[in-house]
Structure 1
Amino acid sequence: MKLLLTSGGVRNPSIRQALDELLGRPIEDCSALCIPTAQWGHPMCGPVSARGFVAGTPPWGGLTSLPWRSLGLLELTALPSIGEERWLPWVREADVLLVDGGDATYLAHWLRESGLADVLPTLTDTVWVGVSAGSMVLTPRIGSDFVEWAGAPDDRALGLVDFSIFPHLDVFPTNTMAQAQAWAVEVGGPAYVLDDQSAVTVVDGRTEVVSEGVWHRLG
């Protein structure tokens, strides 16, 4: 997969340009599926914010309000009950997966339970655009501070990339650089601290930061 791992979505021209380059053709020619599942695992999220992400309305708009050729909804919690023969073609036909934030451990759980986690390595041409937890879910660990789902056994995620992500730098009172440094000690290994104007791209194992804001690499 080609990865665009954002803190706050496509917030500036640099991140939008990175998305266009990953897609390789005009966004108007691309089909997208949006995945709101992580929201159900976080106590600060719910029906209003989930609808806002899907509908692309402020302040949750951004990814789904881009001019996609087609835009569909993929709810991971429903997939085990309908069978892979139905949902797998939807995923394979999509050019991009738009994965919203919430709780990354809940999202990781349902990526595994649905079977989509096993399929991801085969989607070589698909672009994954993550927001917050939608980005963190691909990392090895998210850190205990970001675990809000009561059913999470620990802070481990899918580990499809070899670095962790601390999102929303200076957006929330607890998301300070001092907190990020303590978090980095806990998760171990390389990590990126991103504000909402920053993102990380991963293509063929090559990692680059795209930013019009503030970011740091730790570890």
Structure 2
Amino acid sequence: MKYMLTSAGITNKSIEDALVKSLGKPVSECSALCIPTAMYGHPWVGPGIKTWEFISGNSENPMVNFGWKSVGILELTALPSIPWERWLPLIEKTDVFLVSGGDALYLAHWMRESGLAQMLPKLEAVYVGMSAGSMALAPRIGEDFMGWMPPSGKDEGISLIGFSIFPHLENESLPENTLDHAAKWASKIQGPSYAIDDQTAIKVTDGKVEVISEGLWKSFSTG
């Protein structure tokens, strides 16, 4: 599995080029599965019209509406009630997973409950995360981003990457997401972390981390 972890989707040519390189073939030849699960856990984006906008490709964040050969939906909350043999072949032949923003801990919970968290590292595909869709892969989310409360009461992601992510850095619609706020957040993480704006992505291939940016980002190392 390769990871392209974004704040706001495929927002510029640099991120697009890096994604196509990771895919190894044109977007028009790739099958995609969109995962809207995180949206249901966040009061700003789901359930309702914004979830439909993401799934249908009418969202302002470019992910689903990107010219894929095919696009399907993988709803993680449904998977525990469906025999695994009905959906495992689908994810095994998928080229790219498009994972929406929303609530990172809600997404991490359902990744574990569905079994997808255990399967992702074994798949030959590219995981494209947006905001919470990126954050959920980290060891920790950080207390600042805790909304939906998991059964454990902790801010633990699924630890498929070795760093945490602070998204939407210096976004005008989120005035609290300043660099100073990110630095304070990072000081509590006790591990490597990145703050990234909406023109930045973090590419992870075989454990190698590369920042792709036409904007602002900052790395932190604490612990």
Shorter-chain TM-score range: over 0.9
> Which residue pairs with 2:144 in the alignment?
145
User: Corresponding residue for 1:68?
Assistant: 68
Per-residue deviation, 1:151: 3.7
Q: Distance in 1 between matches of 2:128 and 2:195?
A: 17
Conserved? CA contact 2:109–2:150, under 8 Å:
no
In the alignment, which residue of structure 1 is the partner of 2:217?
A: 215
What is the CA RMSD across the aligned residues, in angstroms?
0.9
Q: Is the 8 A contact 1:80 1:114 kept in 2?
A: yes
Query: Which 5+ residue runs of structure 2 have no aligned equivalent?
Result: none
Alignment match, 1:80: 80
User: Within 5 A, what are the aligned runs for 1:131-170?
Assistant: 131-151=130-150, 153-170=153-170
Q: Structure 1 residue 166: deviation in Å?
A: 0.4
CA contact (8 A) 2:105 2:149 kept: no
Q: 1:178 to 1:40 in 2, by over 3 A?
A: same
- Does structure 2 conserve the Cα–Cα contact (< 8 Å) formed by 1:43 and 1:148? no
Q: Provide the residue aligned with 1:53 in structure 2.
A: 54
Partner of 1:130: 129
Number of equivalences:
217
* Counterpart Cα distance in 2 of 1:141 and 1:8: 20
List per-residue Cα deviations over 1:128-147 (Å, max 9, x = no partner).
00000100111100101111
Moved beyond 4 Å, runs of 4+: none
Q: 2:207 aligns to what?
A: 205
| One-letter code aligned to 1:53 | F
Pick from 155, 177, 180 the counterpart of residue 179 of structure 2: 177
Q: 1:183 is aligned with what amino acid? A: W
Distance 2:81 2:55 in 1: 22
Structure 1: tracts of 5 or more residues without a match: none
Q: Distance in 2 between matches of 1:84 and 1:58?
A: 30
Name whichever of 30-39 and 111-120 sits farther off.
Answer: 111-120
Output the TM-score relative to the length of structure 2: 0.95
